[in-house]
Amino acid sequence: DRATLGVLYGTPKTWRVRLPDACLLPAKASWHNNRGQIHLDRGALDDAKAEFEQVKEFAKEGVVDESSAQTHWRQIALRGLGEVARNRGELDTAEKYHQRSLKIKREVGDRHGQATTLNNLGLVARNRGELDDAEAFHQQSLEIEREVGDRHGQAQSLYNLGAVARNRGELEDAEEYVGQAADMFLAIGAMSGAFSALEEIISISEEQQKTESAREWCERAIAAAKQASDDEASDKFQDRLPGFSE
């Protein structure tokens, strides 16, 4: 919960909290990575980069004893740094970080990690407007996720393929991809992804003037939010519902 996260990773008032020296080094690497992700989510990109650079140093200096662990933390750091660069619009730098991370994951046979990084490369390509490349990356990611049985990853790749299709103006394809993503996110209880996908498919339905479809998706979103006891999401979708009344 938020209170626990505040103790572990700090809050805006206590962000400089430090772990005890007795903590194992892999635990410190994980701690810095989690802090980096929190900074990334809130848009504090300089702080996020500093945390991911710290993770990178653990592997670089060999402070994590096992070579497999060093490899793990190196690619984790590269992924984080790539996301920082993408959010800054530094797309060439982002691509380099993600390609280096992908190389490591292929060397160690990390199929799940390969899928994640291919998705990240797809996001970089889409930000550049290189939609064919973006589609190819997301399709590769989806194929791997199906092979390894990663349903959450499949849902994310389907969502990303829908975003590519929407950018092309191919709204029927976008609707199909994002609808599959929404169904899968809901099936596995990944509500954050589900609400994002539901909001997207409602907008896609609106663009196609499919009022009935938009209303049905909105009603599904409200039901899912109520079941998850997410009042904020429920209110947001309730506010949209009157626009689809017959």
pLDDT tens for the chain, 246 residues: list them.
443 444 444 544 444 566 666 567 777 888 889 999 999 989 999 999 999 998 888 776 554 444 577 788 888 899 999 999 999 999 999 999 999 999 988 988 899 999 999 999 999 999 999 999 999 999 999 999 999 999 999 999 999 999 999 999 999 999 999 999 999 999 999 999 999 999 999 999 999 999 999 999 999 999 999 999 999 999 999 998 877 765
- The Cα–Cα gap between 196 and 141 comes to 20
Q: How much is the pLDDT for 2?
A: 42
Cβ neighbours of residue 192 under 8 Å, at least 6 residues apart? Answer: none
